[in-house]
């Protein structure tokens, strides 16, 4: 089969590799569409922390935002999966430890991660092996583009849940990229007054085109009482700023990751009686994201700037915007 492989920092190829065979407890998914995110870019540049702490290494097969159709099942798997449109969890816990048994499989010490951790192959390939326990069916009302946006949507939904918003609450979202805008969409669906802090004029104009008129940069951000601040950026100074901005006794949520340590003064958290929530993955939010997409409560498709073939993935990772791309922050790869 064809698979996109990162062989070294900034060196890639579409290679012929052995097609996977379904092992006991697994299915094979014929991948239709996969998304490219900031984590994938960090693998491409060689900056991703897992490359430096031994959890990943080259050659690397990326892709953890995906959807497709089940084409084969292994021993012990319900055969009715064959032919169904699916997506799935990225985080694959061992299913035996205490963390997995109480619903924290996404922080299992022994987990693998699709397209990210410990050699688990990713979805920028024609076929993808996935454990049955990680599968989620997609209804017909969730098209391929939405299906490949379930994983980032699950992260965003968990972030909004972590903020414990009530209708009418004023929330400030730091970052106007894919996760930040999805957070804004899910927060709006909860009835919150949503504000977005971004950097470039293009990203702020795009946020406004999605109906988020309260889109600001550092110079224009108004002084308001923020009931929650959700940091979906990769800027190292913003986690501390989130604590500075949020109302005392309220909540900050951290879903973005900076490339360098982002320092927060714990004294400020204590003295303001702030609750700080970390969000690692979409696990626990995937089903809710599918439901929100299926019902029309949230439509993430405007975020996709373009969908390109597998042989153009390297250009997207390098920061190129193919001709005819829209203004959205997300790029999809069409596998078939």
d(C-alpha 283, C-alpha 281), whole Å: 5
The per-residue pLDDT for range 85-128, each reduced to its tens digit, is: 999 999 999 999 999 999 999 999 999 999 999 999 999 999 99
Evaluate whether 249 touches 272 at the Cβ level (below 8 Å). yes
Q: CA-CA distances (angstroms) from residue 198 to 65, 152, 244?
A: 24, 19, 17
- DSSP one-letter code for 283: T
259 band by pLDDT with thresholds 50, 70 and 90 = confident
d(C-alpha 329, C-alpha 311), whole Å: 20
Evaluate whether 124 touches 63 at the Cβ level (below 8 Å). yes
pTM over 0.95: yes
Helix (H) / strand (E) element for 261: namely none
190 band by pLDDT with thresholds 50, 70 and 90 = very high
> Which residues touch 182 (CB under 8 Å, ≥6 apart)?
149, 152, 153, 155, 156, 298, 300, 303
d(C-alpha 277, C-alpha 157), whole Å: 13
d(C-alpha 134, C-alpha 252), whole Å: 29
Evaluate whether 174 touches 253 at the Cβ level (below 8 Å). no
Report the percentage of the chain scoring pLDDT > 90. Answer: 99
Tell me the pairing of strands 226-231 and 170-174.
parallel
Q: Indicate the range of 80-89, 173-182, 256-265 predicted with least confidence.
A: 256-265
The per-residue pLDDT for range 120-171, each reduced to its tens digit, is: 999 999 999 999 999 999 999 999 999 999 999 999 999 999 999 999 999 9
Q: Which long-range contacts (CB under 8 A, 24 or more apart) does 192-196 make?
A: 192/165, 192/166, 192/167, 192/168, 192/227, 192/228, 193/168, 193/169, 195/170, 195/171, 195/221, 195/224, 195/226, 196/172
d(C-alpha 108, C-alpha 50), whole Å: 16
Residue 336 confidence (pLDDT)? 82
Q: How far apart are the first and last CA of the chain?
A: 12
Going along the chain from its start, the domains and CATH numbers come out as: 2-149+300-334 (3.90.180.10), 155-278 (3.40.50.720)
Evaluate whether 254 touches 279 at the Cβ level (below 8 Å). yes
Q: Is the pLDDT of residue 295 over 90?
A: yes
d(C-alpha 307, C-alpha 13), whole Å: 19
d(C-alpha 264, C-alpha 115), whole Å: 30
Residue 79 confidence (pLDDT)? 98
What is the full DSSP assignment across 182-245?
Answer: HHHHHHHHTT-EEEEE-SSHHHHHHHHHTT---EE-TTT-----EEEEEE----TTHHHHHHHH
- Supply the mean pLDDT for the chain: 97
């Amino acid at each position: 089969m064809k698979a996109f492989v990162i062989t070294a920092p900034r060196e890639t190829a579409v290679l012929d590799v052995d097609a996977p065979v379904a092992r006991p407890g697994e299915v094979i998914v014929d991948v239709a569409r996969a998304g490219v995110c900031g984590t994938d870019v960090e693998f491409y540049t060689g900056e991703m922390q897992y490359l430096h702490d031994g959890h990943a290494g080259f050659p690397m097969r990326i892709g953890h935002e995906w959807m497709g159709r089940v084409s084969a099942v292994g021993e012990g798997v319900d055969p009715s999966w064959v032919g169904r449109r699916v997506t799935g969890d990225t985080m694959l816990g061992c299913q035996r430890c205490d963390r997995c048994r109480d619903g924290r499989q996404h922080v299992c010490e022994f987990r693998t991660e699709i397209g990210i951790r410990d050699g688990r192959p990713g979805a920028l390939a024609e076929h993808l092996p996935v454990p049955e326990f990680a599968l989620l069916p997609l209804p017909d009302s969730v098209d391929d583009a939405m299906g490949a946006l379930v994983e980032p949507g699950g992260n965003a939904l968990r972030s909004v849940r972590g903020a414990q918003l009530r209708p009418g609450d004023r929330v400030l979202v730091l970052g106007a990229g894919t996760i930040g805008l999805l957070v804004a969409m899910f927060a709006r669906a909860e009835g919150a007054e949503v504000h977005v802090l971004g950097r470039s004029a293009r990203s702020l104009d795009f946020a406004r085109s999605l109906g988020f008129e309260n889109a600001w940069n550092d110079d224009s951000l108004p002084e308001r009482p923020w009931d929650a601040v959700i940091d979906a950026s990769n800027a190292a100074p913003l986690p501390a700023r989130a604590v500075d901005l949020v109302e005392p006794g309220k909540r900050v949520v951290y879903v973005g990751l900076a490339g360098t340590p982002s320092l927060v003064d714990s004294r400020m958290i204590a003295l303001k009686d702030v609750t700080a929530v970390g969000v690692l993955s979409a696990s626990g939010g995937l089903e809710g994201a599918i439901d929100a997409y299926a019902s029309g409560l949230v439509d993430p498709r405007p975020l996709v700037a373009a969908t390109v073939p597998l042989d153009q993935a390297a250009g997207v990772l390098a920061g190129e915007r193919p001709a005819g791309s829209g203004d959205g922050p997300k790029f999809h790869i069409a596998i078939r």
